[in-house]
Amino acid sequence: MSRFGLSAERIPATRTLLAIGALCAALGAGPVAAQSAIPPYKLSTFAKSTTAYTGPDSIVQWRESVLIGYQNGVAKDGTDGKSSTIVQYSLDGKVQRTFSVLGHNDGLRVVGDDKLWAVQNEDANPSIEIIDLVSGTATTYLPPAPHGGGYDDLRVVGDDVFMTASNPNLDVNGVNVFPALVRVTLSGGSLNLEPVLYGNSQAVSIASGKTVTLNLTDPDSLAVDPAGNIVVDSQADGVLVFVRRPLTAHQAVGVINITSAGAMTTLDDTAFAPRGRSFALFSDVSGNTVYRLDRPTFGFEPGTAYSTSDTAGIVGVLNLDNGNLTAIATGFVSTRGMIFVTSEKDGDREKDGDR
């Protein structure tokens, strides 16, 4: 068990599956002709793009529905003046309503009971659209961006909202000296940002136990692991960073390098299986499809990390001790946003930070 409470030993039932996946990778299996999942996982289609909206990415659950952000090919800095579409679906994939949001959507999160925060324009000119999901009304906020880029994703932990500062300017040595993770608070009509983790902070390597200096050049998605750590994906750098007890005197930072089939790989999103019955949803932005992943009979093992890789086009089980990603679903173009969906009809639902 590492100092961050992460261990692959809690998922013994997947060892045979992981060994099979590793063997296939070692044998150099060729490209997958179609989308498929390795048993005991089962793959199906949840939703597809239409002529009205394309490019699904972020996914979030609200009550007995899910909301999916369609990027519609909008420029990542919003300079083309076009809009993304957020589509609300029932849990069986039926469209319920849509929202048009100016700019390029890349992050969605429900804050409180009914407020959907849509993070727009992750490369520059950021904005946050806060939509009241009961009334349908929306308010636009313009957060400052001293790092020169935008914002990508956010998470709620207790009463706090955390957000990643994406596409940062780098110094002459190619180092990100700006905040990579910030805490966000609303004050009147303004958003206030407080640095939590800098791009060049020190961290403990979870694999080796050595202290290293980070260089987070591409802060991207966020997650909360079963130990309550905030998990920052620095996508292009191929690392996950774990922040324990943020903004306290006991804040600690750990990092793992991500590999798949022996090579560095990038992740877009990571989700942790909750307790109780659930199914997973993930998007293939270039494939214009949102997929459903089930693990029939025994269900997903609580606490297991599952990740999507935008470059490898796979969904995999992530070993939290050494960062190895083993594919369980393959054949996609660019896998992105991933969540586990639970229903109140099946028991208690976990929220961010409740694990």
Identify the pLDDT of residue 349.
54
d(CA 216, CA 336): 19
pLDDT tens-digit series, residues 51-105: 999 999 999 999 999 999 999 999 999 999 999 999 999 999 999 999 999 999 9
**Is residue 224 helix, strand or coil?**
strand
CATH number listed for the domain at residues 8-346: 2.120.10.30
Token pair of 109 as six digits: 């999160």
pLDDT tens-digit series, residues 260-319: 988 999 999 999 999 999 999 999 999 999 999 999 999 999 999 999 999 999 999 999
Amino acid at 201: S
Beta carbons of 121 and 101 less than 8 angstroms apart: no
d(CA 220, CA 232): 7
Identify the pLDDT of residue 344.
79
d(CA 290, CA 76): 21
pLDDT tens-digit series, residues 166-188: 999 999 999 999 999 999 999 88
Q: Which residues pair with residue 25 across a beta bridge?
A: none
pLDDT tens-digit series, residues 9-23: 333 333 334 443 443
pLDDT tens-digit series, residues 120-167: 999 999 999 999 999 999 999 999 999 999 999 999 999 999 999 999
d(CA 159, CA 151): 20
d(CA 344, CA 278): 11
If we measure between CA atoms, which residue out of 329, 345, 346 comes closest to residue 291?
A: 329
Q: Are strands 263-264 and 269-272 parallel, antiparallel or unpaired?
A: unpaired
pLDDT tens-digit series, residues 239-259: 999 999 999 999 999 999 999
If we measure between CA atoms, which residue out of 319, 215, 201, 226 comes closest to residue 267?
A: 319
Identify the pLDDT of residue 345.
73
Place of tokens 């403990």: 204
Sheet containing 289-294, strands listed edge to edge, beginning at the edge strand earlier in sequence: 42-48, 289-294, 279-284, 335-341
